Amino acid sequence: MPQHDSLEQFEHFRSKMNEIILSEAPIEVKRFFSLDTQTYKDGALHAGTKELLGLVASMVMRCDDCVTYHLQQCVRLGVSDEEIWEAMSVALIVGGSIVIPHLRRAVQTLKLMRGKPANLSEPNE
């Protein structure tokens, strides 16, 4: 996870900075934040489906913070690992090999969220 040592640090930083931004920002920024929140609510598409779409877009756009956020939301909404894997497969096909580093970090992050840390120990030589 870039710039953050843990999911807790990621969430703390995100929450605190959003609080500061929303307390100081002009109306245009506040409206964008509101539009973002409204977009991911249940509608014709279930919120989990929308978060999967956000995950794909974030991977293709190579935004690791966004990938982490959408993974958090997917887990919170009960999206299965199988659904997440299918979405990440779409991201890889759409984005190509440049998505692979983000796929690696996404898989590591998902494992942490599910309480199954990725085994990153050195191979035996």
How far, in Å, CA of 43 to CA of 47, rounded?
Answer: 7
How far, in Å, CA of 120 to CA of 14, rounded?
Answer: 26
How far, in Å, CA of 103 to CA of 65, rounded?
Answer: 13
In the numeric block, which tokens belong to residue 69? 């956020």
Domains along the chain with CATH numbers: 47-114 (1.20.1290.10)
Q: Coil, strand or helix: which one is 117? A: coil
Residue-wise pLDDT for 47-105, tens only, equals: 999 999 999 999 999 999 999 999 999 999 999 999 999 999 999 999 999 999 999 99
Q: pTM here?
A: 0.87
pLDDT of residue 124: 54
* Per-residue pLDDT band at 29 (split at 50, 70, 90): very high
